Structure 1
Amino acid sequence: MGSYNVDFFIRLKRLPQPGETVFCDEILIKHGGKGSNQAVSAARLGGEVSFIGAVGNDEYGKRAFSFWKEENVDASRVKVKEGNTGNAYIFLDETGESSIVVNRGANYLLDEEDVVDLEGNVLLTQLEIRERVVRKALKEFQGLRILNPAPAYLEDVSILDYVDILTPNEIEFKQLTSSDDLDFGLNELLKRVKTAVIVTLGERGAVIATRGKRVLISAPKVKVVDVTGAGDVFNASLAFFLEKGYDIEDAVEYAVKIASYSVTQLGALGPRWEEVKEFVQEK
């Protein structure tokens, strides 16, 4: 459950300074939004995925339904709202680093009454839609609940009481805990989160924290082309492997490898299992 955006990739040699004008190399238009990215990335691995979200009653919204059909994602619970489909402007420099500006559009019109029939084994959601909608889904869902707290602006931290696994990146972790102390912050989050906090560390991998245990899963070295969507690919892969019955350490190891592979290519969507199978199984 989450957002769908039309992504406008603006490729340039470097990001402009305040007051500076620079020229871009090209503009690419792709499907995006954290919720949709994660749904499609999980489906590409072979998952049976249903997506809950909202698009506008515009041409971009129509294209989104065609896209989900092509990617074998059940979009029957996606709502069409009066207004514009959400969009994101992704400024991508030649190092692969990105800055993103999001216009939420129809994503912000998804409401609590739109969240019904929450069936499935794993719920994966984020915070690019209204917090109260996320809260309702987490509270009512009966399976494993994963919250990717992106962006990490919580009006009410008690929403974490309904989360089994929390997956912030380093910036989101600091925003949630107001601390640079990893161990202290993990302990604070684990006072609410039921099972585990997994902090993604980019090229360094990820830290898994459960009560009384910390495990670092290292990432393989790769040539970075585009880091956009790496977190979405990680979360989708994590949800996929946990649903398949893998333990959390093995699931995170696979997720780290697949996310690492994804940054070697342009775009926010994950690879298909056939593309990444050999890479994942390398020791």
Structure 2
Amino acid sequence: MITVVGSYNLDMTFKLNHFPIPGETVFAQEVRVGHGGKGSNQAVSASRLGARARFVGAVGNDANGKNAINFLSSEGVDTSCVRVKNAHTGSAYILLNGGGETMIVVNRGANYELTPEDLDGCLEGKVLLTQLEIREDVVKRALSGFSGIRILNPAPAELNDVEILNYVDILTPNEVEFQEISNSDDMSYGAQILLKRVKRAVIVTLGENGAIIYTKSKSVRIPTIKVNPVDTTGAGDVFNAALAVFLERDYDLETAVEKANIIASYSVTTYGALGPTWKEIKEKYPEIPLP
């Protein structure tokens, strides 16, 4: 089982011709409302890839919270550890330009009400996946209390308690997050600084350029397929979910990253933050050997 500790947000996506500059008003070409939040995205994406996935998080005692639990259940995600708080369900406001790029503002709402005590009895499985859209003390409790493979997707990259990294096996920042956490523009140097705390590997995701795996002894660039992106929202979540799925299935790290790259690349060819199913991937890329 894959346990995902993280956030649920109601996503509101505004499709624009271009991002506004300060002081500019632009009109939305289209508005979409859907399910999001990095934790929820990752749990659902893992479930769609055939994993048993549990989501540990918090929603509000409002209609959006009820809809969130129903949605997660409909996707086959275990919701027994979703806590209902006396707060509004979290929300995210996503600006999407014509090139598929995004700008995102998050109102954490009930996500910030999740406590370390809420994790009691929930930290089971072979792989733990967590992020930084919830409180750091909750993230630390999740990582320190889990006995399997521990993946931290450091997004957003606001990490005040660096001791959290001592409990991480695999760290998965994108380029911007990597620079913010490592305090270095030199990727090789910064990775080695992080690996003084991170146990196994730092994987820097590079979008269309694939990813680089850094360990204490070497670095390996893993390419990906070329696609025409229409919406990059959630691509990192899909990558992390797929990585967790392949590691749970005992693939070596390089193969897991290679396949996660392919699935994340496919995900940006459609709208929305959630990952594809095996059927969708095989129909689109029958030549790619995926289980």
TM-score by length of 2: 0.96
Name the residue aligned to 2:37: 33
Native 8 Å contact 1:95 1:224 kept in 2: yes
Match of 1:145 in 2: 150
Q: Which amino acid aligns with 1:224?
A: P
User: In structure 2, do the counterparts of structure 1 residues 135 and 281 end up closer, same or farther at CA, with 3 Å as the change threshold?
Assistant: farther
Give the Cα–Cα distance (whole angstroms) in 2 for the partners of residues 155 and 178 of structure 1.
13
**Consecutive aligned runs of 4 or more in structure 1 exceeding 6 Å deviation:** none
Correspondence for 1:18: 22
Q: Equivalent residues in 2 for 1:111-130 (5 A)? A: 111-117=115-121, 118-130=123-135
Name the residue aligned to 1:80. Answer: 84
Work out whether residues 257 and 280 of structure 1, in 8 Å CA contact, stay in contact via their aligned partners in 2: no
- Structure 1, unmatched stretches of 5+, are none
Matches within 5 A, 1:61-72: 61-72=65-76
SS at match of 2:40: helix
Measure the CA separation in 1 of the matches of 2:111 and 2:55.
13
Distance 1:280 1:191, change over 3 A: farther
1:101 aligns with 2:117: no
Equivalent position of 1:90 in the other structure: 94
Q: Distance in 1 between matches of 2:152 and 2:131?
A: 6
Q: Which residue of 2 aligns with 1:282?
A: 288
Correspondence for 1:213 among 212, 218, 223 = 218
Say whether the 8 Å CA contact 1:258–1:280 is kept in structure 2: no
Letter in 1 for 2:96: L
Gaps of 5+ in 2: none
* Aligned partner letter, 1:123: L
How much has 1:211 moved relative to structure 2?
1.2
Does residue 1:50 correspond to 2:59, yes or no? no
- 1:51 Cα shift? 0.6
Aligned 8 A contact 1:173 1:199 in 2:
yes
CA deviations 1:20-50 (Å, max 9, x no partner) are 1111101100000000000000000000001
Equivalent runs, 1:167-182 vs 2, <5 Å: 167-182=172-187
What's the offset of the Cα at 1:154?
1.0
Kindly provide the amino acid, as one letter, of the partner of residue 261 in structure 2.
V
Number of aligned residue pairs: give it. Answer: 283
SS of match in other structure, 1:193: coil
Q: Distance in 2 between matches of 1:195 and 1:75?
A: 30
Q: Which residue of 1 aligns with 2:229?
A: 224
Matches of 2:259 and 2:225, distance apart in 1: 11
Which letter maps to 2:203? I
Partner residue in 2 for 1:7? 11
The question of whether the paired residues in 2 share the 8 Å contact of 1:254 and 1:280 is answered with no
In structure 2, how many angstroms separate the alpha carbons of the residues matched to 1:41 and 1:178?
31
Give the deviation of 1:100 after TM superposition: 0.1
**Contact 1:151-1:172 within 8 A present in 2 as well:** yes
* 1:70 to 1:140, Cα distance in 2 relative to 1, 3 A: same
Secondary structure of the structure 1 residue equivalent to 2:24: coil
Aligned-residue sequence identity (percent) comes to 62
In 2, Cα distance between equivalents of 1:56 and 1:7: 15
Instruction: State the match for 1:254 in structure 2.
Output: 259
